[in-house]
Amino acid sequence: MPVDPYVTLGVGKSASQDEIQKAYRRLAKKLHPDLNPGNKKAEEQFKDVTAAYDLLGDAEKRARFDRGEIDASGAERPAHRYYRDFSEGASPYSSEAGYEDFGDADEILAQMFSRGGRARAHMRGADIHYRLTLDFLEAVNGGERQVVLPDGSALDVRIPAGTREGQILRLRGKGRPGFGDGPAGDALIEIEVRPHRIFTRKGDDIHLDLPLSLREAVLGGEVVVPTLTGKVMMKVPKWTNTNAVLRLKGKGARRLDGTNGDELVTLKIMLPEKPDPELEKFVADWRGEYSPRQATES
């Protein structure tokens, strides 16, 4: 006969939902079969407690029960097998830790474990996922990085040139060890790239905004341009406007086929920071009739 679920949980009829949850957790912690591997009685009690909580933990079901619409048996949960039911055989989860201080008994224990170690004899180890944050130039130019794994061991990771945000590097055999003769899993390293102060990357091309003086814009000349691999000189043709884009071939990021993207330099004309009386006088005398806003005015 089903017992009163309020009695099972040890709460009064007027208990709040919160109190019911607390009561359930308190009992479940004590009675969960997997936390009591050797206690057969715990399983029965845990079932009762769980059934009672299924009923009372849900405010709606509880109201229906209180009104007498459903009885305490409610819907029986389909029986599931507990983790402890599998403790006999060997499994990937079997732990042999905790005997290092037993000294000579080690060998006897090793024998015992090997007797159990039959099931799932050969199985590939699991993959492990990591995240690695790289500086912009480190990702673009490639290099070596050491990753410290959660277990304290270090892993040398070769960053190929041209590595991009979100890319996943697979290190074969660097995951969890296999079982039996199974091979080890892989380490999967997801790459994040920190933004750069001046460069941005679109596909394999590198973009850069480069300030240009009024004189350079009007008369043209050679300017120094930073690239991924150092500075280069670039010819600016005379009469170059703001937003003009000059292309430095092959100065972009490395592609998979070994070729490189380009660097695209967007020019921005900058007036001197401090007002220059000479320039002001010169412009005042200038009779230019050009209106740059024809497109926006019409």
Partner 1 sequence: MLSGTFILQARIEAEELETWCAEGWLLPCETESGREFSDIDLARAHFIRDLLNLGVNREGVPIILDLVDQIHGLRRVARDLLGTVKTLQQERGSK
Query: According to CB under 8 A, which one of 15, 83, 117, 161 is a site residue for partner 1?
Result: 83
Q: 100 burial class (0-12, 13-18, 19+ CB within 10 angstroms)?
A: exposed
Q: Alpha-carbon dihedral of residues 146, 149, 153, 158, nearest 10 degrees?
A: -30
Does 219 engage in binding with partner 1 (CB under 8 A)? no
- Given the complex with partner 1, which of 32 and 207 has the nearer CB atom? 32
Cα-flanking dihedrals φ and ψ of residue 233, to 5°? -90, 140
Among 157, 226, 219, residue whose Cα is nearest residue 186:
157
| Smallest separation, CB 272 to partner 1 (Å) | 56
Only one of the segments 29-37, 158-166, 191-199, 219-227 lies at the binding site for partner 1 (rule: CB under 8 A); that segment is 29-37
Q: What DSSP state is assigned to residue 30?
A: H
Question: Helices 59-66 and 17-31: crossing angle, nearest 10°?
Answer: 100
Give the helix ranges, DSSP H, for the chain: 5-9, 17-31, 40-56, 59-66, 106-116, 136-141, 214-219, 277-285, 294-297
| Smallest separation, CB 194 to partner 1 (Å) | 23
Query: According to CB under 8 A, which one of 4, 19, 86, 255 is a site residue for partner 1?
Result: 86
Only one of the segments 74-82, 163-171, 239-247, 286-294 lies at the binding site for partner 1 (rule: CB under 8 A); that segment is 74-82
| Smallest separation, CB 68 to partner 1 (Å) | 28
Instruction: Copy the structure tokens of residue 168.
Output: 């996943």
Q: In angstroms, rounded to a whole number, what is the distance separating the alpha carbons of residues 32 and 48?
A: 11
Only one of the segments 108-116, 152-160, 208-216, 289-297 lies at the binding site for partner 1 (rule: CB under 8 A); that segment is 108-116
Does 61 engage in binding with partner 1 (CB under 8 A)? no
Contact indicator for 188, 131 with CB cutoff of 8 Å = no
- Given the complex with partner 1, which of 86 and 282 has the nearer CB atom? 86
Does 44 engage in binding with partner 1 (CB under 8 A)? no
Q: 111 burial class (0-12, 13-18, 19+ CB within 10 angstroms)?
A: exposed
Does 112 engage in binding with partner 1 (CB under 8 A)? yes
Query: According to CB under 8 A, which one of 13, 41, 67, 81 is a site residue for partner 1?
Result: 81
Q: In angstroms, rounded to a whole number, what is the distance separating the alpha carbons of residues 16 and 23?
A: 11
| Interactions with partner 1, residue window 172-211 (CB under 8 A) | 176, 185
Query: According to CB under 8 A, which one of 87, 200, 242, 266 is a site residue for partner 1?
Result: 87
Contact indicator for 279, 220 with CB cutoff of 8 Å = no
Only one of the segments 109-117, 200-208, 209-217, 226-234 lies at the binding site for partner 1 (rule: CB under 8 A); that segment is 109-117
Query: According to CB under 8 A, which one of 43, 54, 58, 127 is a site residue for partner 1?
Result: 127
| Smallest separation, CB 112 to partner 1 (Å) | 5
| Smallest separation, CB 231 to partner 1 (Å) | 43
Q: Which residues sit at the interface with partner 1, rule CB under 8 A?
A: 25, 28-29, 32, 34-35, 37-38, 80-88, 91-98, 109, 112-113, 116, 120, 123-129, 176, 185
